[in-house]
Chain A
Amino acid sequence: MTQSTQAGLLEPAPGSDGTPRPTARTVGGGRRVLRALAPLPWITPATALILFVVIWPVVSMFLTSRQHFDSMGFDQGSAGWGNFTKLFDEPDLPGVLVRTVIWVVAVVGLTILISLGVAQMFNKQFPGRKVARWALIAPWAASVVMTSIVFKWMLNPSNGTILVLMHDLGFMKNYNSVNWLSQQTPAFIWEIVVAIFVSVPFTTYALLAGLQGVPEDVYEACRLDGAGSVRTYWSITLPLLRPALLVAALINIMNVFNSFPIIYEMTGGGPGNQTSTTTLFMYNTQQTSIGEAAAMSVVNFGFIIVVVLFFLRASRWNTAED
């Protein structure tokens, strides 16, 4: 590697001056450069793909956030940092940020808690385990949009099944007297419930895989040392599950943070922006100002980068300790 770099420094690149010199040394140097370039055909497609699919949209997003677009999407020139100023002046923004944090923490936290339990159960032998494992795939396999719409219908104030049930059980006197999806707190809670519902299957399977990877002899040794079940779980299962937990948490955080369809389908972030997270807020802002929405995207992007860096650090610390 260093050799070929030196050769490149000492000698002009082959063909750069148009007159190939026939000395043995130059030919050797050229070969070395060629050899260094040899992997290019293999890495070029992947690099090009990343440039095209990842880097270019990111660059384009940054550029958009500094442009002024009219309501029909025509570029009216540079906006400087105007879109960012406008974004940070939005009266709805603080609430949106707080809600985003609640959304991510509540959904990911509860999902992992529930999944730990379900995974533990699925790791035990019981009649019908196969059926139960298959059944858990359903919320995962179903389209998130579909699940959200089904929940929305179940909560319909005049004929949703949940409301019908409440009415028939006598908890509610009349139909059309409550519309949870139009009230900030109940609507947001229901959205969190749906988000947990669709996140649990994946998380459970990730943790189940982790549990199955814990060798049986460790448990045996533990039993011989006389540890109780709580102690075993705390000192053996959880630490050995850590890689699976970290992966599950990281993927969930990014998924949940970026989650759009659940809130969009159930409330559209409304009324107003009262149930919007940053992703929804970005979408709703786009209808009035594309540049400002791009500025929101940049902020979101920054947040995701921070989360990923944090987790990369956490996982390295994890491998170092092992």
Chain B
Amino acid sequence: MKRRVLALTAIGVAGVMSLTACGSSSSSSSGSSGGNVTIKLLAADYGTAGTSNSTQAYWQGLAATFHKTHPNITVQVQTIAWTNWAQVATMIQDKQYPDILEGDAPQQFAADGLLYKLTDIMSASTVSNLIPVFAKQEDGTDGVAYGAPFTTSARGLFYNKKLFAAAKIANPPQTWADIQNDAAKIKALGGGDIGYGLPLGPEEAQGESYLWMLGNGGGYVDSTGKYAINQAANVQTFQFLNTLVKSGATEPGPASTNRQQMWDAFAAGQVGMVGGSGALIPDIVKNGKLTTSDYGVVPMPGKNAPLTQTLGVHDDVVGFKQGGHADQIKQFLDFVYSDQNQIAFDQEYDLLPATTSASAALSAKDPVAAGFLKNVPNSVVYPSNTNWNTVLAKLKQTLGTAASDNASSVLNSLQTFATSNQ
């Protein structure tokens, strides 16, 4: 008995030793092309972990295919749910660096000197294929890109055709006034349905607010890229939202209502209008209350006319320096960014590609995606100031309270926060 335990321990020790040997050899031989190399990929899970729509399955499929053509490179995949995303920062602080990170990678990583330049980890042809408006957002303060967009989405206004018909509204809204009138009519139906779903809660207050700010020519920054959160146009926007909320056209308490709640309610057929992206479509399908002909998507209304630009958001891919696997990362990323692999991902999750050629290919075969993609090249995007991540956390918590009687004081204090925490 005792001897067996000893033997097992010996095996364990040998195993650990061989593992560490393996680890050290791979990092030391990273510069050369010889030897087997394992690169670690850490990615966000866009589906449900443990099911076939988990993003783990997507990446593992890619890694397996890639390994066939590049037998000396093994890609080790780990996915993390979006709800646990804060864990990534913890891992980085603990120096558990992945080689590739896909998801939300703030500029701060680049500022902390942890990332490869994009040109080190992606070949020039792939870089030039990235949709420019998103690729530009990856530039650090030094004007050099440290990452690439991986998947994108654009916003539009979803409206419930059943409720519109019941309230005898002929056309989808084009202006703020239309939203106000249509929402009032839907509320007047008396079924307890919500006219306009206005999610200004901490989940994504910044997104919904931005869509409204844009409708009045406002935004988070001015034309020079400096914060202008309290500009007159924004104050006016939130004053309008305040009247909208007070009239009862929205759900009660928008500052505490999260996007997912409103999307769920829309999918359940209880909301007349809501701002959404393609990611809302799977919710609608899953809920089964609305068929494809029961809802429509139009550009987000502005104060006097619909937005000609939409809010485009993207998730990033970045490469961490610490493993020293630039070559291998480059080979893998070039493979990942092929049209076929991009489109496979975006069709699985109703998102949009990050490359020009994949967008063109997807537009040709998917009319819903084509509708969103039409506006993508001239998307407006979030600011990419170095402290945006900090400002964003504050905005999520506070911005919703601006849709109240003290719009200007809330926006003023946010402006002070943004400029004093540079």
Contact = CB atoms under 8 A, between A and B. Distances in A.
Interface string B385-422: 00101100110011011000000001001000100010
B270 A158 contact: yes
A176 B191 CA distance: 10
B318 to A, nearest CB: 12
A214 B270 CA distance: 59
A158 B256 contact: no
Contact of A176 (B92, B251, B410): B251
Given A71-B108, A71-B389, A177 B252 contact: yes
Contacts of B253: 157, 179, 181-183, 271
Contacts of B109: 72
A73 interface: yes
Contacts of B397: 270, 272-273, 284, 287
Contacts of A287: 393-394, 397
Interface string B252-281: 111111000000010000100000000000
A288 B421 contact: yes
Nearest to B399: A272
Interface residues of B, number: 39
Question: Which secondary structure characterizes the binding site on chain B?
Answer: helix
Contact of A272 (B108, B251, B401): B401
A274 interface: yes
A268 B397 CA distance: 9
B252 A72 contact: no
B93 A74 contact: yes
Contacts of A289: 390, 421
A87 to B, nearest CB: 13
Given A70-B112, A72-B112, A182 B390 contact: no
A179 B390 contact: no
B106 A182 contact: no
Contacts of A70: 108, 111-112
A179 B252 contact: yes
A176 B252 contact: yes
A175 B394 CA distance: 31
A312 interface: no
Interface in B183-234: 187, 190, 192-194, 201-202
* Most B-side CB within 10 Å, residue of A270, A274, A284: A270
A271 B256 contact: yes
Nearest to B254: A182
13 contacts: A72-B89, A74-B112, A91-B413, A158-B192, A175-B192, A176-B193, A176-B252, A178-B252, A182-B257, A267-B256, A271-B253, A272-B401, A289-B390
Interface of B: 89-90, 92-93, 106, 108-109, 111-112, 187, 190, 192-194, 201-202, 248, 251-257, 265, 270, 387, 389-390, 393-394, 397-398, 400-401, 410, 413, 417, 421
Interface of A: 70-74, 91, 157-158, 174-179, 181-183, 267-268, 270-274, 284, 287-289
Q: Which 3 A-B pairs have the closest CB atoms?
A: A182-B253, A175-B192, A179-B253
